[in-house]
């Protein structure tokens, strides 16, 4: 099937009334989550995963994807009007967006953020269509050693990019890998770390675990924080930027599209990193760098475009190789596997309606978001005034109902609660839970690839360095580990000498 025939099939799938409705629901919830500082798309997708069990795989992924890229749009509203990023990827937007609002230019700031997001999201979707094919063809030549080495490389890149200490990120990944071994061994059929509990025979449920670590822990963290919101009260007008503002923004928008897409492909928090890179590039090449931080429209256009373009980039390794590069795409991988769909090189040929349906829904969803965000800004601002003491119990109730509805088992609720408290404690001590989730999801594939590789080579570890792609991936992983370890040692030594 060629690309154009695939796109036509995708739009036919996406425009089916039920899929179109789920696309709207996804982008609406995503925007809402982006506007309300707190839980974020990762926790939201984790909480809503049980809701998708009763619908078709294509509808489920369309909705969850809509939440993912919709949250990037919504985060700009709070950054510009309240100076509080609704999403981590919108932190940079606060620097110039809020200053523009204080100068009476909130309309153009919101407008350029929305149009930049549309252009960045559309560009990344087009790039995804053309890039995923050659990557999928290359991935068909991969075998177990390549998959093992690439997963190792992905995890070390994640350690390298994650904020906080190298040791804490490594501990989280090791914890995730350990938890992924709980259950019955697929090769020997022996129980591992089940302690005789029947509900652990199939392993720890990904959904209750994710809901606890990402949802419950986020609720507990937010309940103890008081956020003073100073909302921009003046009437918002002139949402369409002027010709002069468009002239200043068009370069940052195209550069942000490229930066966001290619950084989004890399493991780690691509949307967050891409905004900082975009902002730094625009400030570096600007003829008036002194205006940045004081209301430069380029400081809004570039980062807001980049964070939406990064979403499309994130789907490239997920769709082409079945390897997620962030917690969000890890949850999307989990959702697909729950529905009996395995992402990877054969996804396009075996499940074309899912691949092309999701691609087409991204085009539709980005247009929906533009139409949603500009007219409904007044409503989003009103929602910001709802106190957390009202919102959080409602979210907690959704978590409890969702966990129980998976298998109609109290055990899932208990698992969710345990991981919720664990996640809260970990976050209090500055341990990030996202690497643990990603390691947990990738753990079974990593273990299976490792054992199959040794079976292929009669137990010889040399198979991992004899194959070129595997050797290169492992080499990069080792170099990154050494670099991170050396940096950690140097910081520790400096503290001891002080």
CA gap 218, 202 in Å, rounded? 27
pLDDT of 492: 67
Using the CB atoms, write b or e for 262-287: b if 16+ within 10 Å.
bbbbbbbbbbbbbbebbbebbbeebe
Give, as one character, the DSSP assignment of residue 129: H
Of 118, 121, 122, 129, which is closest to residue 5 (Cα–Cα)?
129
Using the CB atoms, write b or e for 70-106: b if 16+ within 10 Å.
bbbbbbbbbbbbbbbbbbbbbbbbbbbbbbbbeeebb
Tens of pLDDT along 191-248? 888 887 887 887 887 778 877 887 788 778 777 765 555 555 545 666 677 888 888 8
Q: How confident is the chain (498 residues) per 10-residue block, as mean pLDDT?
A: 78 90 90 72 79 85 87 76 67 80 80 86 86 76 81 78 72 88 80 81 80 79 63 59 85 89 73 78 82 83 87 82 77 83 77 87 86 73 67 76 77 87 88 81 84 85 85 86 73 67
CA gap 7, 161 in Å, rounded? 35
Beta bridge partners of 183: 192
Instruction: Break the chain into its structural domains and give their ranges.
Output: 3-497
- Cβ 438 vs Cβ 228: under 8 Å: no
Give, as one character, the DSSP assignment of residue 241: P
Beta bridge partners of 192: 183
Beta bridge partners of 191: 184
pLDDT of 5: 81
CA gap 211, 42 in Å, rounded? 9
pLDDT of 23: 92
pLDDT of 21: 93
pLDDT of 190: 82
Tens of pLDDT along 417-427? 899 899 899 88
pLDDT of 388: 65
């Amino acid at each position: 099937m060629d690309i154009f025939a695939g796109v036509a099939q995708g739009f036919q799938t996406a425009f089916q009334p039920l899929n179109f409705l789920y696309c709207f629901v996804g982008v609406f919830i995503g925007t809402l989550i982006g506007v309300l500082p707190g839980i974020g798309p990762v926790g939201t997708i984790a909480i809503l995963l049980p809701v998708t069990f009763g619908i078709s795989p294509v509808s489920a992924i369309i909705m969850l994807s809509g939440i993912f890229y919709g949250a990037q749009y919504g985060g700009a509203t709070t950054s510009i009007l309240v100076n509080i990023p609704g999403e981590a990827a919108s932190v940079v937007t606060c620097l110039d967006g809020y200053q523009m609002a204080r100068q009476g230019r909130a309309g153009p700031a919101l407008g350029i953020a929305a149009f930049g997001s549309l252009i960045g999201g559309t560009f990344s979707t087009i790039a995804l269509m053309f890039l995923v094919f050659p990557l999928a063809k290359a991935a068909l030549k991969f075998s177990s050693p390549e998959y093992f080495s690439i997963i190792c490389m992905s995890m070390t890149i994640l350690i390298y990019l994650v904020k906080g200490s190298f040791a804490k990120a490594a501990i989280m990944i090791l914890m995730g890998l350990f938890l992924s071994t709980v259950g019955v061994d697929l090769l020997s059929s022996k129980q591992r770390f089940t302690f005789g509990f029947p509900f652990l025979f199939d392993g720890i449920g990904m959904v209750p675990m994710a809901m606890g670590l990402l949802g419950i822990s986020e609720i507990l963290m937010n309940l103890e924080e008081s956020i003073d919101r100073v909302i921009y009260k003046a009437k918002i007008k002139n949402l369409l930027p002027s010709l002069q503002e468009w002239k200043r923004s068009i370069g940052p928008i195209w550069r942000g599209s490229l930066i966001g897409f290619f950084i989004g492909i890399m493991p780690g928090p691509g949307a967050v990193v891409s905004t900082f890179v975009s902002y730094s590039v625009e400030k570096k090449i600007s003829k008036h760098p002194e205006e940045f931080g004081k209301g430069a429209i380029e400081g809004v256009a570039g980062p807001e475009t980049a964070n939406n373009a990064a979403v499309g980039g994130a789907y490239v390794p997920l769709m082409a190789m079945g390897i997620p590069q962030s917690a969000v795409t890890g949850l999307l991988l989990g959702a697909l596997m729950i529905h009996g769909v395995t992402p990877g090189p054969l996804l396009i040929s075996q499940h074309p309606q899912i691949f092309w349906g999701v691609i087409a829904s991204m085009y539709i969803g980005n247009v929906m978001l533009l139409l949603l965000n500009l007219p409904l800004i007044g409503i989003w601002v009103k929602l910001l005034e709802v106190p957390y003491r009202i919102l959080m119990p409602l979210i907690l109730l959704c978590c409890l109902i969702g966990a129980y509805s998976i298998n109609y088992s109290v055990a899932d609720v208990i698992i969710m609660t345990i991981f919720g408290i664990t996640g809260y404690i970990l976050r209090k001590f500055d341990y990030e839970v996202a690497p643990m989730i990603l390691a947990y999801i990738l753990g079974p594939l990593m273990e299976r690839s490792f054992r199959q590789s040794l079976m292929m080579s009669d137990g010889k570890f040399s198979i991992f360095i004899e194959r070129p792609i595997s050797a290169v991936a492992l080499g990069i992983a080792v170099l990154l580990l050494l670099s991170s370890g050396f940096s950690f040692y140097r910081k520790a030594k400096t503290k001891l000498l002080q």
